[in-house]
Amino acid sequence: MAGFAGRVAALGIGAAHDGPAPTFASLSAALEVALAPGTRVRAADVAGTVRTDGAAVAAKLLLDTAVRG
């Protein structure tokens, strides 16, 4: 699992599909994880740590780097 979905799974706030194409079984398993009460609790905990200004901070860092050359 790589990328965003892998990070979601690693944080315990959802599931990631591992494989080339989802199946009924794999999607059902992911949905079961996503809808589990523990996942909901963990997602609420993680939500409190997420910055709401992430895009603005990233843009500022990019512009600062561009100005410095």
**What domains can be seen in the chain, in order of their start residue?**
3-68 (3.40.50.2000)
Q: How far apart are CA 39 and CA 32, in angstroms?
A: 10
The whole-model pTM stands at 0.67
The pLDDT score that the predictor gives to residue 20 is 84
Residue pair 51/57 in contact by the 8 Å Cβ criterion: yes
CA–CA distances in Å: residue 30 to residues 9, 20, 48, 61: 10, 15, 23, 36
Task: Provide the token pair at 64.
Answer: 């600062």
The pLDDT score that the predictor gives to residue 2 is 65
The pLDDT score that the predictor gives to residue 1 is 57
Other C-beta atoms closer than 10 Å to the C-beta of 48 total 6
- Mean pLDDT score, 13-31: 90
